Amino acid sequence: MVEDDKRISSLVKRGLEAENFTVDVALDGNEGLWLATEGSYDVIVLDIMLPGRNGYQICASLREAGDWTPVLMLTAKDGEFDEVEALDTGADDYLTKPFSFVVLVARIRALLRRSSGRDPVSLEAGDLRLDPAQRRVWRGDMEVGLTARQFDVLEFLMRRQDQVVSKLEVVNGVWEFGFEGDPNIVEVYISRLRTRIDEPFDRRAIETVRGAGYRLRADGG
């Protein structure tokens, strides 16, 4: 990851490591290009506005050298011409700040699948199944409709089955970086998820751990 904002790079690094990725971070463009050319990486997450050398220049240099490692541009520049320039210099995808961490992870996994030819992996907890690629959820044979945010919260929990996660961890993992709202918003989404994936099926997959947070049972409740 090449990102000069230390807070963002630290949060993303910790989050990706929790998803079992190994992450190197460069805080300026020159170091980023050096790491990219000296190392072997599956995906490069690349900011555009960087000291030393910008993301466009890094991406163009890699492509000119025949390096086709998937590149995801992560930037505060959200104009359509910025996106066009990013893709024209060889980037494979483009995500603007502020962004949702689960969307970032989904984009990274999509790039990995695209480069390796592998099929997406569904997440399962008992008879509860979630397809990250199609963004669909089932209880047994019955599909359950969720809003985009409900889906993101459920995916976050299902990737951490049997782990206790705090409200703040859910906010940091699902909501956009820089979100300054009340973490208690998580309670609202947990309640709504229960009415969709648990109560109609007489299940209790999502547990409240008093004083600590929430846990999604690996057996699906």
- Contact between 174 and 101 (Cβ < 8 Å): yes
Q: Quick one: average pLDDT of 112-132? A: 77
Report the C-alpha gap between 153 and 8 in whole angstroms.
20
Report the C-alpha gap between 173 and 191 in whole angstroms.
18
Number of Cβ within a 10 Å radius of residue 168: 11
How many residues does this entry show for the chain? 221
Q: Are strands 71-75 and 93-96 parallel, antiparallel or unpaired?
A: parallel
All domains in the chain, ordered by first residue: 6-116 (3.40.50.2300), 123-216 (1.10.10.10)
SS3 call for 202: coil
Q: Specify which residues 144 forms β-bridges with.
A: 137
Report the C-alpha gap between 157 and 215 in whole angstroms.
7
Can you give the pTM of this predicted structure?
0.59
Most trustworthy range by pLDDT among 11-15, 108-112, 174-178: 11-15
Q: How confident is the model at residue 116 (pLDDT cuts 50, 70, 90)?
A: low
Q: How confident is the model at residue 119 (pLDDT cuts 50, 70, 90)?
A: very low
- Contact between 215 and 164 (Cβ < 8 Å): yes
pLDDT tens profile 59-87: 889 888 878 888 998 877 666 666 677 77
Number of Cβ within a 10 Å radius of residue 97: 16
End-to-end CA distance of the chain: 37
Report the C-alpha gap between 180 and 178 in whole angstroms.
6
